[in-house]
């Protein structure tokens, strides 16, 4: 049973209870618009590239539909349960960028493929057989991409001949429709310098080209070449080989992504932080630290700690289950008891997964300090910021 929402539409930001996941709707929409606008003329000849944003970031059919309203052809997700929840929420074109293994899940997948356009990735012939059996028993057609390991060293077949052999197995199977390859290099997204990211995608490009060639030599058309994330999407687009890009984090942006040095050479859009953990100072030791109500259960720290947003000189550290500590540099004011402030999470996807609700806030503006509120100056910096929408993080949880 989900918890009670931390706010109601119409509430001012000041009364949103904590810890809560706050979305700056204006910033999120600017991020979506910037990516959609860029995609329209991306690619070597400016013909544009399809966007299929990754919904594992937000796990929300509402956010997915906002992306599709701006031209995305559909969304990606990682789990069968995510796909089901997105479909229930009105998303009608979903690619699971992952392997789905096990009879029970494959049956659910086949049932779902009768309701929406559904694709999945494969990297094993036995899995292809089981997928085809499930599709046939439900009278469904499932789109299939052969996942190629283009550098990530996780899932995927080797480039070239192994990719072609698997593509042939898919093409022979009834109930499956071979669509192309999935060529995603996850690790490259977070390489800090533009040069390191460019070099990584050059290697991925060679692996993708080799696979496409082998597949076409086998007499099959490789219509879709999918991949790319928020760190490298412009690199993949510039090759003209990838035609469906899957960035996810760009809607929210986290501290980790903000550490990537931007690529100045391309007209690559920049994205803003739109996603925060709203937290309250619950204890304080004057001159030493403040304690906030956001610990491991409110913000993921796998990519480093969250950072106080627009509060230079304040540092978050030493999280425990339900507490986090704030330390101030010399000369910087430590927040007072009851003060609310926003933390930018280190990693957006696993942070969203911890919460039941999104609190969508309108009118924060871009001013420094907009996301901080002192109980003794309740209006400071937050004039006009109010809750427009409260959405469930519908597909949250470990997933299955």
Ligand X SMILES: *Cc1c(COP(=O)(O)O)cnc(C)c1O
Q: Counting contacts by CB under 6 A, is residue 249 touching ligand X? A: yes
CB of 39 to ligand X, least distance (A): 14
User: Is the Cβ of residue 293 or residue 349 nearer to ligand X in the bound state?
Assistant: 349
Secondary-structure percent of the chain, ordered helix, strand, coil, rounded to 5: 30, 25, 45
With beta carbons less than 8 A apart as the criterion, state whether 175 and 109 touch: no
- Whether 182 contacts 227, CB under 8 Å: yes
Stretch that binds ligand X, among 28-36, 104-112, 184-192, 287-295 (CB under 6 A): 184-192
| CA nearest neighbour of 174 among 150, 144, 194 | 144
Task: Give me the residue whose beta carbon is nearest to ligand X.
Answer: 229
Q: How many CA within 13 A on the CB side of residue 156?
A: 23
Find out whether 180 and 211 touch, Cβ atoms under 8 Å.
Answer: no
Is residue 246 involved in binding ligand X (CB under 6 A)?
Answer: yes
Q: Which of 18, 57, 67, 344 binds ligand X (CB under 6 A)?
A: 57
Q: How far is the CB of 119 from ligand X (least distance, A)?
A: 12
Stretch that binds ligand X, among 18-26, 33-41, 182-190, 197-205 (CB under 6 A): 182-190
Supply 264's token pair: 């100045």
192 near 258, Cβ under 8 Å?
Answer: no
Name which position in 74, 175, 180, 247 contacts ligand X (CB under 6 A): 247
Is the separation of the CB atoms in 393 and 351 below 8 Å? Answer: no
By CB under 6 A, residue 347 contacts ligand X: no
Minimum distance of ligand X from residue 234's CB (angstroms) = 12
| Closer Cβ to ligand X, 38 or 289, answer by number | 38
Contact between 74 and ligand X (CB under 6 A)?
Answer: no
CB of 322 to ligand X, least distance (A): 27
- From residue 210 to residue 229, the character string flagging contacts with ligand X as x (rule: CB under 6 A) and all else as - is -------------------x
- Is residue 159 a contact point for ligand X (CB under 6 A)? no
Binding window for ligand X (CB under 6 A); candidates: 24-32, 53-61, 196-204, 285-293: 53-61
Please report, as residue ranges, which positions from 277 to 316 form the binding site for ligand X (by CB under 6 A): none
Residue 276 binding ligand X, by CB under 6 A: no
Q: Counting every residue, how long is the chain?
A: 400
Strands annotated E in the chain? 20-24, 50-51, 75-77, 93-96, 117-122, 142-147, 176-182, 224-227, 244-245, 275-285, 289-292, 307-308, 314-317, 324-328, 340-344, 357-362, 372-373, 386-392
Q: Give the nearest distance from C-beta 293 to ligand X in angstroms.
A: 27
Rounded to whole angstroms, the Cα distance separating 69 from 64 reads 9
Q: How far is the CB of 126 from ligand X (least distance, A)?
A: 22
The two structure tokens encoding residue 244: 């469906």
- Exactly one of 38, 138, 178, 184 binds ligand X (CB under 6 A); that residue is 184
What tokens appear for 121 in the block? Answer: 């990735």
Q: Interface with ligand X includes 230 (CB under 6 A)?
A: yes
* 54 makes contact with ligand X (CB under 6 A): yes
Q: By CB under 6 A, what part of segment 81-140 binds ligand X?
A: 97
The residues in 185-204 that bind ligand X, with binding defined as CB under 6 A, are 186, 189
- Helix residue ranges, H only, the chain: 25-40, 61-69, 80-88, 103-113, 125-137, 161-172, 194-217, 233-239, 255-258, 348-352
Count of residues of this chain found to bind ligand X when the rule CB under 6 A is applied: 14
CA nearest neighbour of 48 among 241, 243, 251: 243
Q: Does 274 bind ligand X (CB under 6 A)?
A: no
- Neighbouring residues of 16: CB distance < 8 A, sequence distance ≥ 6: 6, 7, 22, 278, 340, 359, 361, 387
Please report how close the Cβ of residue 83 comes to ligand X at its closest, in angstroms.
14
**Contacting range for ligand X; rule: CB under 6 A; set: 200-208, 217-225, 244-252, 357-365:** 244-252
Residues that bind ligand X in the complex, under the rule CB under 6 A = 54, 56-57, 76, 97, 184, 186, 189, 229-230, 246-249
């Amino acid at each position: 049973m989900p918890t009670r929402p931390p706010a109601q539409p119409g509430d001012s930001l000041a009364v949103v209870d904590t810890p809560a996941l706050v979305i700056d709707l204006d910033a999120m929409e600017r991020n979506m618009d910037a990516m959609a606008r860029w995609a329209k003329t991306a690619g070597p000849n400016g013909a544009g590239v399809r966007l299929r944003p990754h919904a594992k970031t937000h796990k929300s059919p509402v956010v997915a539909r906002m992306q599709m309203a701006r031209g995305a052809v559909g969304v990606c997700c990682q789990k069968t349960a995510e796909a089901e929840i997105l479909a229930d929420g009105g998303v009608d074109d979903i690619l699971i960028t992952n392997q789905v293994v096990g009879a029970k899940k494959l049956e659910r997948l086949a049932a779902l493929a009768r309701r929406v356009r559904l694709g999945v990735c494969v990297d094993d012939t036995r899995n292809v057989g089981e997928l085809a059996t499930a599709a046939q028993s439900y009278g469904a057609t499932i789109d299939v991409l052969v996942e190629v390991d283009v550098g990530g060293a996780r899932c995927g077949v080797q480039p070239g001949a192994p990719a072609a052999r698997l593509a042939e197995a898919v093409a022979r199977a009834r109930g499956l429709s071979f669509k192309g390859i999935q060529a995603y290099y996850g690790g490259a997204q977070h390489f800090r310098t533009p040069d390191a990211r460019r070099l990584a995608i050059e290697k991925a490009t060679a692996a993708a080209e080799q696979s496409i060639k082998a597949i076409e030599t086998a007499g099959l058309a490789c219509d879709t070449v999918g991949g790319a994330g928020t760190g490298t999407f412009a690199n993949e687009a510039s090759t003209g080989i990838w035609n469906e890009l899957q960035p996810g984090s760009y809607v929210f942006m986290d501290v980790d992504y903000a550490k990537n040095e931007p690529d100045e050479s391309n007209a690559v859009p920049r994205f803003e932080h739109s996603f925060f953990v709203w937290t309250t100072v619950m204890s304080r030791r004057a001159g030493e630290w403040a304690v906030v109500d956001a610990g491991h259960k409110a913000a993921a720290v796998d990519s480093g700690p969250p950072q106080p947003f627009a509060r230079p000189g304040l540092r978050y550290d030493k999280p425990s289950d339900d507490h986090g500590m704030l330390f101030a540099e010399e000369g910087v004011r430590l927040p007072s008891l009851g003060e609310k402030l926003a933390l930018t999470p280190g990693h957006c996807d696993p942070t969203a997964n911890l919460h039941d609700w999104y609190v969508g806030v309108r009118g924060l503006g871009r001013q420094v300090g907009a996301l901080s509120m002192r109980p003794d100056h309740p209006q400071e910096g937050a004039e006009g910021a109010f809750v427009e929408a409260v959405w469930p993080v519908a597909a949250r949880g470990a997933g299955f």
